[in-house]
């Protein structure tokens, strides 16, 4: 009885390894691509940090075929009034480009825009007083622009 179970388990494991190996060899993206994309495009600071770490080591994620390209804040200033918004814009571009490629952009746009706004507000949290107020106001303006035109 144990021998047959062990043999069946070994056969199942070999079949799984063969399927995974074949998918990788054929250039197919890993099965968890959508889960990884979703985890990197949430509103939380930990989601932003995970995306930033992956962006810094893109080669490790090459099998996923993510589009890392960015024009940062498009035609708006990347660092308006000296506020460093460029990385927030880059993550926003990442979400937009990869969800469009996956054909699921419409279902995710509102969350991507909200994540963008949360990223901008985290930048603004580094300031105090009237400078923070000016940053928050600029962040709100950028958020409203992507909601309307993004």
Active site residues: 92
To the nearest 10°, the Cα dihedral for 7, 8, 12, 15?
60
Residues near 111 by beta carbon (within 8 Å), at least 6 away in sequence: 41, 42, 43
Q: Which residue has the tokens 């952009």?
A: 105
């Amino acid at each position: 009885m144990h021998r047959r179970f062990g043999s069946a388990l070994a056969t199942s494991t070999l079949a799984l390894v063969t399927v995974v190996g074949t998918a990788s060899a054929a250039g197919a993206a890993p099965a968890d691509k959508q889960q990884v994309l979703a985890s990197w495009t949430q509103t939380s600071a930990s989601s932003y940090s995970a995306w930033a770490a992956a962006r810094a080591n893109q080669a490790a994620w090459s099998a996923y075929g993510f589009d890392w390209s960015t024009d940062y804040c498009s035609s708006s200033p990347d660092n308006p009034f000296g506020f460093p918004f460029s990385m927030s814009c880059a993550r926003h571009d990442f979400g937009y480009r990869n969800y469009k490629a996956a054909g699921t952009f419409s279902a995710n746009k509102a969350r991507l825009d909200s994540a963008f706004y949360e990223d901008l507000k985290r930048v603004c949290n580094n300031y105090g007083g009237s400078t923070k107020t000016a940053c928050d106001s600029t962040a709100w303006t950028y958020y409203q622009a992507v909601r309307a035109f993004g």
